[in-house]
Amino acid sequence: MRGIGKLRGLGSLLSKNLGEQPIIDGTRGISNSTDLKSVLAEKIPQQQERLKAIKKSYGSKQMGGVSVDMVIGGMRGITGLLWETSLLDPDEGIRFRGYSIPELQEKLPSAIPDGEPLPEGLMWLLLTGELPNKEQVAALSADLRSRAALPDHVNATLKAMHPNTHPMTQFSAGVLALQPESTFAAAYEKGINKMQYWDPVYEDTMNLIAKLPALASTIYRNVYKGGDLIEADPNLDWAANLAHQMGFQDQETQELMRLYQTIHTDHEGGNVSAHATHLVGSALSDPYFSFSAGLNGLAGPLHGLANQEVLSWLFRVRDELGDTPSKDQVKDFVWATLKSGRVVPGYGHAVLRKTDPRYACQRVFAMKHLPDDPMFRLVSLFYEVVPSILQETGKVKNPWPNVDAHSGVLLQYYGIKEQNFYTVLFGVSRAIGVLSQAVWSRALGLPIERPKSVTMDVIEKKFSGT
Ligand code: CMX
């Protein structure tokens, strides 16, 4: 219960500083109810009071200055967002509501003994701040299953698209095709009180997340398997059903999918997909609109598309150098990539300054299940070679691998060979993080985003003394 302990600590610290009523952090006590929405409903008023108290007591305090470099440099290092579901430490990596990935692998319920965590467990944690028990995870799984069916018109929309349309374009369009179902948009039109926004956003979040395995697998089967669709299995959990509906029935692939879908959910608020979802949602665009915007950002090669790029790049290595290249050959290949003005995909990060724990846990999975796979060996060889080369460039701030450097090789091993589809799998998972936060953003009444921009003229005039 480390994360919750941390939050409790903050509550008492705040109350000490304020000398007022203790600020309730909303995660006190563990709920036994298996109804996620009622657990959430209990916590929301407490968190609303907590935010009010923070605003009142600390609203005028400064949290770091902004330099011209930060303004020009993609807002690097500016703290400018509230994001409750996860926090990224540059050296330690991601913590979901206070828990690291290895801690979650130990503490979240799994489908099989000593298996990978179920993403539904992480979803419960992200939404409530509480580690769920098995019954709660089973109830959430069942709730998602009951909402999972995809309306027919969505597949008709997908089929009407040009056959060369990238799976990510189809995925984003498929999410928008579901938008007429938005409970939030309908409630807003009827004049819902803003204190109640979170409720229809929660319903949209549940409905959308529930349908993503069917949507993603429909795209997969249409593009790569002649449109022969597979029904969901009512006995399977959310991630296993995604693998199943794509056409992968074996337990090990389903275990990989559970791990994959857990670790890609959330990476605090400033990354492109999270921030885009948050920004668009702040205009009270419903979760379908805002998540589709997040997916469009995830489709960029510097963000989620890097997992596809990594695999294409590894294939080029294999085609040119064979399965077992030497270290020197790999070094030359990396340098050639850099000298041609391209990035090494899967390496580097805007915030992290160490090996991504999401990379590390995939590596552990590979060592357990596919230690002798030639592509895994190649990935390991790159891990030995790339960081020192990127360091040698003198400009790359983080030479270590990120999540995208490993995922493709695992998917390949289990027969999911179509790398153009990989970012869709990333996107399915990302929904859990960004939409859990969307529920809280509306519950906490966060306002429309509108940072100030300036022209070059303004900067020159301000600092040149003219
Ligand atoms: N290969 C080559 N050059 C790299 C590099 C890499 N992997 N990572 C950073 N650099 C370069 C930058 O392009 C930049 O060069 P210029 O000054 O010439 O423009 C310089 O090093 C400094 O960049 P940085 O501050 O270290 O990194 P940024 O915060 O600007 O960018 C990221 C972060 C992820 C976009 C970058 O590291 C990158 O392009 N990596 C490769 C693509 C990738 O793996 N993306 C996935 C990230 C994880 C995810 O979001 O899914």
Tell me the pLDDT tens digit for each residue of 421-439: 999 999 999 999 999 999 9
Residue 436 lies in a domain: no
Are the C-beta atoms of 85 and 436 separated by less than 8 Å? yes
pLDDT score, position 466: 61
* Secondary structure percentages of the chain, helix, strand, coil, to 5: 60, 5, 35
Nearest CA to ligand 1 atom 41: 345
pLDDT score, position 64: 85
Would the CB of 342 count as within 6 Å of ligand 1? Answer: no
Residue 394 lies in a domain: yes
Band of residue 20 on the pLDDT scale cut at 50, 70, 90? very low
Q: Which atom of ligand 1 is nearest to the CA of 405?
A: 44
> What average pLDDT does the structure give for the chain?
93
Number of domains present in the structure of the chain: 1
Region 237-262: mean pLDDT is: 98
Would the CB of 366 count as within 6 Å of ligand 1? Answer: no
pLDDT score, position 18: 36
Query: Is 117 strand, coil or helix?
Result: strand
Would the CB of 302 count as within 6 Å of ligand 1? Answer: yes
N residues, the chain: 466
Instruction: Report the distance separating Cα 282 and Cα 438, nearest Å.
Output: 9
Would the CB of 350 count as within 6 Å of ligand 1? Answer: yes
Q: How far is the CA of 142 from the centre of ligand 1 (A)?
A: 41
pLDDT score, position 31: 87
Query: Is 362 strand, coil or helix?
Result: helix
The 10 Å Cβ neighbour count of residue 328 is: 9
What is the span of the domain harbouring residue 342?
307-413
Band of residue 224 on the pLDDT scale cut at 50, 70, 90? very high
Instruction: Report the distance separating Cα 47 and Cα 50, nearest Å.
Output: 5
Band of residue 465 on the pLDDT scale cut at 50, 70, 90? confident
Would the CB of 93 count as within 6 Å of ligand 1? Answer: no
pLDDT score, position 189: 98
pLDDT score, position 432: 98
Residue 14 pLDDT > 50? no
Digit-coded pLDDT (tens) for 175-184: 999 999 999 9
Q: How far is the CA of 251 from the centre of ligand 1 (A)?
A: 36
pLDDT score, position 160: 97
CATH number of the domain to which 320 belongs = 1.10.230.10
Residue 419 pLDDT > 50? yes
Would the CB of 344 count as within 6 Å of ligand 1? Answer: yes
DSSP-assigned beta bridge partners for residue 87: 95
172 alpha-carbon distance from chain centroid: 15
Spell 112-146 as b/e; 16+ CB within 10 A means b.
eeeebbbbbbbbbbbbbbbbbbeebbbbbbebbbe
Question: Out of 25, 204, 356, 404, which one is annotated catalytic?
Answer: 404
Instruction: Report the distance separating Cα 346 and Cα 374, nearest Å.
Output: 18
Residue 390 lies in a domain: yes
Dihedral angle over CA of 374, 380, 384, 385, nearest 10: 60
Residue 353 lies in a domain: yes
Q: Mind giving me the DSSP string for 36-74?
A: HHHHHHHHHHHHHHHHHHHHHHHTTS------HHHHHTT
Digit-coded pLDDT (tens) for 257-275: 999 999 999 999 999 999 9
Residue 375 pLDDT > 80? yes
Region 444-466: mean pLDDT is: 94
Instruction: Report the distance separating Cα 21 and Cα 19, nearest Å.
Output: 7
Spell 67-82 as b/e; 16+ CB within 10 A means b.
eeeebeeebeebeebe
Question: Out of 286, 349, 356, 406, which one is annotated catalytic?
Answer: 349
Instruction: Report the distance separating Cα 356 and Cα 360, nearest Å.
Output: 6
Region 146-159: mean pLDDT is: 97
278 among known catalytic residues: no
349 among known catalytic residues: yes
Residue 211 lies in a domain: no
Residue 3 pLDDT > 80? no
Residue 16 pLDDT > 90? no
Residue 359 lies in a domain: yes
404 among known catalytic residues: yes
Which ranges of 1-35 does DSSP label H, i.e. alpha helix? 2-18
Instruction: Report the distance separating Cα 432 and Cα 280, nearest Å.
Output: 17
Residue 247 lies in a domain: no
User: For the whole model, what pTM was predicted?
Assistant: 0.93
pLDDT over 70 for what percent of the chain? Answer: 94
Nearest CA to ligand 1 atom 28: 350
Residue 242 lies in a domain: no
